[in-house]
Structure 1
Amino acid sequence: MKGRVARFALVGLSGVLVNLAALHLFAAVLELQDVVASALAIETSIVTNFLLNDGFTFSDRRDLGAGIVRRLLRYHAVCLAGGVIQLATFVLVAVALRRLLGRPELGALRYVAQSAGIGVAFAVNYLGSLRFAWGPGDAGAPRAALSEPRPGAWIAPAIFAGLLLLHVLPIWIAPYFPTQDGPLHVENVLALLHYRESPLLQHWYVANWGAQPNWLTQAILAGLLQVVGPVTAEKLVLTGYTVLFPLGFRALLPRGRDGWWAALAAFPFVHAFPFHMGFWNFCYGLALALLAVGFWARRRGRLGPARWLALAVLSLLLFFAHSVAFAGAFLAIGALLAWRLALALHRARGRPARRRLVLRAYALRSGAVALAALPGGALLVAWLLAHSDSVSSRLPFLELAAKLATAYALVSIDRREILLACAVSLVLFVGVVHLALVRATGTRTLRPYDGWLLAAAAFAVLYFAIPEVVAAGAHVSDRLSLFAFLSVTAWIATGAAPAIAVRRVALALAGIAVVVTGIRLEKQLQLSAHVEEYVAAAETLGPDRVLLPVAVSPHGPRDENGRNLGYRVKPLLHATGWIVARNGGVDLKNSQAFTDHCPVRFPDQNNPFLLLAGSLGRMEGEPPCIDLRAAVRAKVDYVLLYGATPEALASPCGARMERDLRARFERVYRSSPTGMLEVWRPTGPGARHAQLPGPLSR
């Protein structure tokens, strides 16, 4: 039909009017939140556009076989990617406009943001409508040759992109995306950047230059902080990982449409527990590990000079990201290589000459991998030998088994995630059993990518064998369990079964990821509001202060059921980092500076964890056990007391802190609206007030 694009554009124009009118109804009349109003306006315009396109634009295609209900469902599938893109564009433009103009609310500018999203989504909607919602081409057109792209080949990449944007959105919707250690990363990079010009920083810190893990995201942050503010820099780092991880998993899989469908299985693992803990270097390392294994596997271990150099560079990046990620990447490569060798030797049985050729070829491949891993491996061995912190801790075997069976590494800020994590574990279990039965009743041929099961078994053994805390690295079991689950997922996704079975598993996992993202968003916005209230104290404290945070309730306040708001994560434990990032100064509860593998560290003779509490555990306990009399002697400017509940203050440590606060400090600030944060200032002889502003109040 001639003029189809013009007809589609005309219908789209009417959809714009419907969209904006619906937005006005939902936002201005019904006073819904801007993002909710935008989503409802999008759905309204989708329905009206379908009815007009069905009777006007694509009326010649209505008889190609699909009924109106199926066409409507297909059109919704087409609009899913466009709708997510439109909503993402609305949010990003809205955030940009609010920050650029300094407005707390969008007002009339919501229509500018909405129009931008409409324009971006137009092309996606037209192509999808033409090729999928209203059937293939003309009814009498010849079938495409096998060498041509199959109809619908774009659907899986479009869903992949939509899920990617869905996972990026919460990072930008929440003013302060709640993570536990995230503020420390920003604070410490800024401390390193300003170290040479600040006597205060030089008094409390030692610049920790050296070849060591945990430098990768610090280097990225250092570059971003030259051009954007601390909060935006953090969001960009989180966005980079959120995009890189699914793409890294995609690199493991076969090319083409089936690979894109299988890649949807990655999304439940993107924002797992380490992400919300703020373990950014491990997260980037995990994504790079997937890229490294995929790079090696796609070339079947055949590395020329250029490819070997690329793998060696990835080896260095993995070392500077995280030691567990480095070890995980090359353990997976080793497992796949060993399985391929065993398979090749099995196929060459009874042929000695062939077996010798196989052994020679795999010796060369193994040597190439070992040489590629050598730069990062040598640095890692040197760092481990020089590492001073050898504290280790183990969890009971049954507890580890329960955590692994329920995929507890996917649970972070909401108890409801437990059910969804169990669903992920169940889907993978059913998928493995089903695919194993399919293989057993059909062709029993072993395949090269069955080596992923060997890798999963190796990670499971390490999961139980390695301590929970070792070499200053905590939550080791959560990190290793992610490698085990990803190995199982990769086995399913790399062609271990018929494509339709892989697609069903991937779609089930993607559906779980969508649900858990919605559950987390509600909690993320609540926690972000509490972090905002905490950071508001920065306006009162002044620049370059020495701050002692005392987080009695680091998870945030209790919810309506009396449970910790942050569940496994403590977003308020290091929220002082945002104040220091904004005002400068020193955070005496900077736990990263208590280690020797971060940008700055406390010197032994001036370590507040030892001077004020005696250990990391006492400093960050619930409640903390901190000697506030020593804080006065250490010239602390302010004590930031957060979430002092009667139960906590009734404990021995809490009672002593309360007694010392009232005897040696005065309260000068209380946050609003919850009053969870109190700021106390030393009084009496030795109190450090010479550089302070006048009496503080709020």
Structure 2
Amino acid sequence: MNDPFSYRLQWAERVAFALGMLVLVGPVFSHRFHFTTDRPAHVYNASLILQKLTGSIPGDAGWDFTPVPVPNWLGHALLALLLIPFETPEASKALHVLILAGLPIALRALALQRGPGPPWRAHLIFPFAVHVPFAMGYYNFCLGLLVFVLFICQWYHIEAHANATGSTRRYVVLASLLVLLYLAHLVPFGFALGWLGIHSLFHWAGQTCNGGTRRRELLRSSLRALCACLPALVLLVWYQVGQQREESWGPPTPDRWEQLSRPFQLVDFPAERSLWGASVLAVLMALAQGLLSAHQQERRGRIRVFEAVIVGVALLLQATLPNFWGKGIDILMRLALITHLCVLFWVLALPQRRSSSLWIPFMVLPIMIMQQQIRGEEQERNNERMRACHAVAMRVIPGGSVAIVSFDWLGSHLPELAFADRNVLNLSNYEFINPHFPLRWSDSTMTARAAAPEHPLDVLEPWSNVPGTRLIAADHILVIGPPQDDAQRQALDLLRTSLRGTHPEEEGDGNYRLYSRANGQFNSETRISKASIGTARSVPFQK
């Protein structure tokens, strides 16, 4: 590919890929508080991990490390590192850029491995790079997708250099990626193990059909792959033996095949669904083009069908795997993302001509721009909600404790971004009762909670985000959102009565109230809404 035409095609692909990257990550830089649902919780808990590791908090701070190697470590570890040079909003935005930009870059690297010519087909990932798990702030799973693609890249690299020197080092890299994949999320980790198993069976079957040639080399590579899996498998067994059990919750999914499209529809608009359909059409067109090219080149060599088998296995799991809900886990939605990735792997593995996929960026870039226009209004509204809640939460006394009463589940994590800056102990930290999380409440804290005397505010436990939260023990109580029904209004009245204060009702949504303790009693309330940022006023309790 030294002719001028091929050289120009390579540069055209690079420019188009760079444009796609700019469109993809642009919204992250449009607002300091780029909203994802669980973003504040991840940043807050990463700050606790950093404080624990650096010894900047007392030994009896109220929480400990989970004694078993749970998954969901990778995102928190990266955020803890990013919190060293960056402030909390910028640290999480850096992670957003890594997640959004890393997946296309990794897939492009895989495309360069799979065949000659510009990797136009890697551009097909752009419309799928922003999905519901990312919008929900499931950073560990999103990082798991990225590491999964890197794992596939490394495996094909090993396969392409099977007879070269340095194979041990390449398997060490593979083992490291599997450990990272385990520490990210179990769904892509499990599929990576399945990928290795199916790949080995596929090659063993092929060698049997070919009369048993190269069986010794195949056995040696299979044993090395098994050794590469051992460190991650040891962590998995350790976790399964030592983990606490968490009951499944949530309604069953009525239509499991609907899950194949649901992860890519961030808003419930017909235009959003149409754009997802256009994205799928682009992938199918590239797949059909590749199959046609493979048919025309069939005489030149055997067509690879392993990727097609993997897609079939993913679809079979989609059809048969029981769906269940746990802490942030909807198996079918995550498996849908893995399935779409495997389809793209299949597309990348098929042969292509030099300029046969030049149409892809001209189809993908308009889809991305329209996606952002459709999603932009809701994203901006959520960005402003996070900014408003952050302004209120920054009034919490540094080093104090706070309990959250949230009438809006979407906003229950919003103030935790500020808590990370204030070194605040969040008594409503839901992650601390999640058995799959790196930190947990210490035994002494749980004992103190159980021994505390009863108080009327204890009945507000369902709205405090964490069962067992003692609102009366907090230095601050932060109320998020106006009550939506009679039960929530009664809960707010009980809160005000228990704190011996009466206040006018809030109007509209997006309101936040902060009750602060003074001289051992709660005696003031700061009332701030989105419309009154910068003009907050304190209202004393009426005795």
Does the Cα contact within 8 Å between 2:120 and 2:360 map onto a contact in 1? no
Structure 2 Cα separation of the partners of residues 372 and 478 of structure 1: 29
For 1:521, the aligned partner's letter is G
2:122 pairs with 1:287: no
Does the Cα contact within 8 Å between 1:408 and 1:418 map onto a contact in 2? no
Structure 2 Cα separation of the partners of residues 680 and 184 of structure 1: 21
Structure 1 Cα separation of the partners of residues 378 and 449 of structure 2: 31
For 2:493, the aligned partner's letter is R
Structure 2 Cα separation of the partners of residues 388 and 603 of structure 1: 15
State the Cα deviation string for residues 237-262 of structure 1 (Å, max 9, x = none): 22122222112112322457744211
> Which residue in 2 is equivalent to 1:229?
87
Structure 2 Cα separation of the partners of residues 528 and 299 of structure 1: 44
2:538 pairs with 1:697: yes
> Which residue in 2 is equivalent to 1:249?
107
> Which residue in 2 is equivalent to 1:678?
513
Taking the TM superposition and a 5 Å limit, the aligned residue runs for 1:254-653 are: 254-255=112-113, 258-300=117-159, 303=162, 304-346=167-209, 348=210, 355-392=211-248, 396=252, 398-404=254-260, 407-413=261-267, 415=269, 416-429=271-284, 431-432=286-287, 436=291, 443=298, 447=302, 449-469=304-324, 472=327, 474-495=329-350, 502-504=357-359, 508-554=363-409, 570=410, 572-603=411-442, 606=445, 618-619=462-463, 630-632=470-472, 635-645=473-483, 648-650=484-486, 652=487
Cα distance change on mapping 1:190 and 1:668 into 2, 3 Å: farther
Structure 2 Cα separation of the partners of residues 508 and 338 of structure 1: 38
> Which residue in 2 is equivalent to 1:103?
none
**Aligned-residue offset at 1:387:** 1.6
Q: CA RMSD in A?
A: 3.8
Cα distance change on mapping 1:209 and 1:278 into 2, 3 Å: farther
For 1:649, the aligned partner's letter is D
2:495 pairs with 1:656: no
**Aligned-residue offset at 1:311:** 1.0
> Which residue in 1 is equivalent to 2:70?
212
> Which residue in 1 is equivalent to 2:533?
none
Does the Cα contact within 8 Å between 2:290 and 2:350 map onto a contact in 1? no
Does the Cα contact within 8 Å between 1:550 and 1:641 map onto a contact in 2? yes
Does the Cα contact within 8 Å between 2:151 and 2:174 map onto a contact in 1? yes
Does the Cα contact within 8 Å between 1:613 and 1:626 map onto a contact in 2? no
Cα distance change on mapping 1:295 and 1:589 into 2, 3 Å: same
Cα distance change on mapping 1:586 and 1:366 into 2, 3 Å: same
Cα distance change on mapping 1:162 and 1:437 into 2, 3 Å: closer
> Which residue in 2 is equivalent to 1:102?
none
Scaled by the length of structure 2, the TM-score of the pair is: 0.82
**Aligned-residue offset at 1:424:** 2.6
Structure 1 Cα separation of the partners of residues 97 and 118 of structure 2: 23
For 1:188, the aligned partner's letter is N
Does the Cα contact within 8 Å between 1:626 and 1:657 map onto a contact in 2? no
Structure 2 Cα separation of the partners of residues 615 and 435 of structure 1: 59
Structure 1 Cα separation of the partners of residues 315 and 64 of structure 2: 38
For 2:139, the aligned partner's letter is W
Uncovered stretches (5+) of structure 1, i.e. residues with no partner = 1-143, 349-354, 555-569
Structure 1 Cα separation of the partners of residues 254 and 288 of structure 2: 24
**Aligned-residue offset at 1:423:** 2.9
State the Cα deviation string for residues 188-219 of structure 1 (Å, max 9, x = none): 121233345545x8353223365332222222
SS in 2 for 1:356: coil
SS in 2 for 1:589: coil
Does the Cα contact within 8 Å between 1:594 and 1:602 map onto a contact in 2? yes
2:9 pairs with 1:152: yes
For 2:98, the aligned partner's letter is G
State the Cα deviation string for residues 603-633 of structure 1 (Å, max 9, x = none): 46756999988999x458xxx79899x522x
SS in 1 for 2:255: helix
Taking the TM superposition and a 5 Å limit, the aligned residue runs for 1:27-42 are: none
Structure 2 Cα separation of the partners of residues 413 and 581 of structure 1: 30
Max Rg structure: 1
Does the Cα contact within 8 Å between 1:217 and 1:280 map onto a contact in 2? yes
SS in 2 for 1:537: helix
Does the Cα contact within 8 Å between 2:482 and 2:509 map onto a contact in 1? no
State the Cα deviation string for residues 445-469 of structure 1 (Å, max 9, x = none): 9856421121122222333444444
Does the Cα contact within 8 Å between 1:394 and 1:468 map onto a contact in 2? no
For 1:631, the aligned partner's letter is L
Q: What is the aligned length?
A: 514
For 1:679, the aligned partner's letter is L
Cα distance change on mapping 1:286 and 1:259 into 2, 3 Å: farther
SS in 1 for 2:402: strand
Cα distance change on mapping 1:527 and 1:145 into 2, 3 Å: closer
Does the Cα contact within 8 Å between 1:411 and 1:417 map onto a contact in 2? yes
2:44 pairs with 1:187: yes
Uncovered stretches (5+) of structure 2, i.e. residues with no partner = 527-535
Scaled by the length of structure 1, the TM-score of the pair is: 0.65
Cα distance change on mapping 1:445 and 1:591 into 2, 3 Å: farther
Structure 1 Cα separation of the partners of residues 28 and 358 of structure 2: 28
For 1:361, the aligned partner's letter is E
Taking the TM superposition and a 5 Å limit, the aligned residue runs for 1:47-86 are: none
**Aligned-residue offset at 1:513:** 2.8
**Aligned-residue offset at 1:483:** 0.7
> Which residue in 2 is equivalent to 1:50?
none
Does the Cα contact within 8 Å between 2:249 and 2:325 map onto a contact in 1? yes
Does the Cα contact within 8 Å between 2:430 and 2:466 map onto a contact in 1? no
